[in-house]
Amino acid sequence: MAVAGIASAEEKYPKKHLWRNIRRGWQLYLIMLAPFAVLVIFNYVPMYGAQIAFRNFSVSKGITGSEWVGLHYFIRFFHSYLFWSVLRNTVFLSFYQLIAGFPFPIILALSLNYVTSSRFKKTVQMVTYFPYFISTVVMVGIIYQVLDPQLGIVNRVITMLGMSPINFMGKDSLFPSIYVWSGVWQNVGYGCIVYLAALAGVDPALHEAAVVDGASKFQRILHVDLPAIVPVAVTILLLQVASLLNLGFEKVFLMQNPLNLSTSEIINTYVYKVGLASTVVDFSYASAIGLFQNVINFILLLAVNQAARRTGQAMW
């Protein structure tokens, strides 16, 4: 009866009950205040400036004082002669990177999970983790040095085999593969850390029971390990899809040259060149393109989350 009375009182006065909990655990709420403030200041407050995409922004007039032009800059972007080319390159590189990069951390984690030699396992982890900590500028410099037509080690091997050297960075058809697979090599080791942590939480009794039943290692991976990392994999997939069109700026921009521009020009580099690096800086046009990109990412996130909901792994 007492428990029922407390429950009914909490339902009748929910605000009073909430403030009482806050007073009791004020230290925890105080700790949460700093990251919450950072989230609001750097993620939500800048949304006020998104209206620049709908105004003919002038620095002297400010955001609210600038003329409202509606969808003018969006229509300008859609009618641009580079619109379809830029969108195609962005979508293709994004999906290529997602399809190529998503399974390899899982495969590496599953492989390391069955390695019996701790020294070999630590060596492989160190070798695969190390490229992640190389800066983008250094990474692109390594790519140029390795693929150099005259001094690069790849072309030296090609020349030793009696073939003509290939200008890899000058072929537009090779740019997507160079970009994606260099990224896979750089991030695969770091990406498998989460999966290794998930595999460490698998109950050893499940593996023991599978061994007693005569299951092979492949069958144990298929029926014990994979189900354990599905929630983690779905969460990571959702996060990657949420920023699918945000390929980043630095690496693509540094790898661009006039010979591969037909496949390397993406939305982020186009925004920089047309909206910010042109002779007349156009903040409104750049903001409209960026907002269009974010809206597409949001739609993709909702679609993938809805698909994940059917497996019971949705984020919300």
Instruction: Please give the domain boundaries of the chain with CATH numbers for all domains.
Output: 1-34 (no CATH), 72-115+187-309 (1.10.3720.10)
Q: Work out the percent of the chain whose per-residue pLDDT is above 70.
A: 93
Q: What single letter denotes the amino acid at residue 165?
A: P
Provide the pLDDT confidence category of residue 6 given band limits of 50, 70 and 90: very low
pLDDT tens for 201-250 read: 888 888 888 888 888 888 888 888 888 888 888 888 887 877 777 777 88
The confidence band for 2, taking pLDDT boundaries of 50, 70 and 90, is: very low
Asked if residue 270 has pLDDT above 60, the reply is yes
Q: What is the pLDDT of residues 149-195, one digit of tens each?
A: 888 899 999 998 888 888 898 888 999 999 999 999 999 988 898 89
Res. 296 pLDDT band, cuts 50 70 90: confident
Q: Provide the pLDDT for residue 16.
A: 64
Mean pLDDT over each residue of the chain, to the nearest integer:
84
Comparison of pLDDT for 304 and 168, the residue scoring more: 168
Is-contact 99 157, C-beta < 8 A? no
**pLDDT higher than 80, residue 17:** no
**Quick one: pLDDT at residue 150?**
85
Q: What is the DSSP string of the chain?
A: -HHHHHHHHHHH-HHHHHHHHHHHTHHHHHHHHHHHHHHIIIIIGGGGGGGGGGEEEETTTHHHHEEE-TTHHHHHHHTSTTHHHHHHHHHHHHHHHHHHHSHHHHHHHHHHHT---HHHHHHHHHHHHGGGGS-HHHHHHHHHHHT-TTT-HHHHHHHHTT-----GGG-TTTHHHHHHHHHHHHHHHHHHHHHHHHHHTS-HHHHHHHHHTT--HHHHIIIIIHHHHHHHHHHHHHHHHHTTT---SHHHHHH--TTTHHHH--HHHHIIIIIISSSS--HHHHHHHHHHHHHHHHHHHHHHHHHHHTTT----
Q: Does 121 have pLDDT greater than 80?
A: yes
pLDDT (tens digit, 9 = 90+) per residue, 40-88? 998 888 888 888 889 988 888 888 888 898 899 999 999 988 889 998 9
The yes-or-no verdict on residue 4 having pLDDT over 50 is: no
Q: Which residue, 229, 244, 234, is CA-closest to 316?
A: 234
Selected residue with higher pLDDT from 183 and 275: 183
Whose tokens are 């019996």? That residue is 116
**Ramachandran region, residue 70 (left: φ > 0; alpha: ψ -120 to 50; beta: rest):** left
Taking the model in full, what pTM does it have? 0.80
CA distance 102 to 228: 17
Q: In the beta sheet, which residues pair with residue 58?
A: 62
Confidence at residue 116, expressed as pLDDT on a 0 to 100 scale: 84
pLDDT over 60 at 315, yes or no? no
| Window from 141-145, 147-151, 287-291, 307-311 with minimum mean pLDDT | 307-311
- pLDDT above 70 for 286: yes
Reported as a pLDDT band with limits 50, 70 and 90, residue 276 is confident
Q: Which of 9-23, 89-103, 151-165, 210-224 has the lowest mean pLDDT?
A: 9-23
d(CA 282, CA 80): 15
Check whether 3 has a pLDDT greater than 70: no
Q: Is 7 exposed, middle or buried (0-12, 13-18, 19+ CB in 10 A)?
A: exposed
> What's the rounded mean pLDDT across residues 269-276?
83
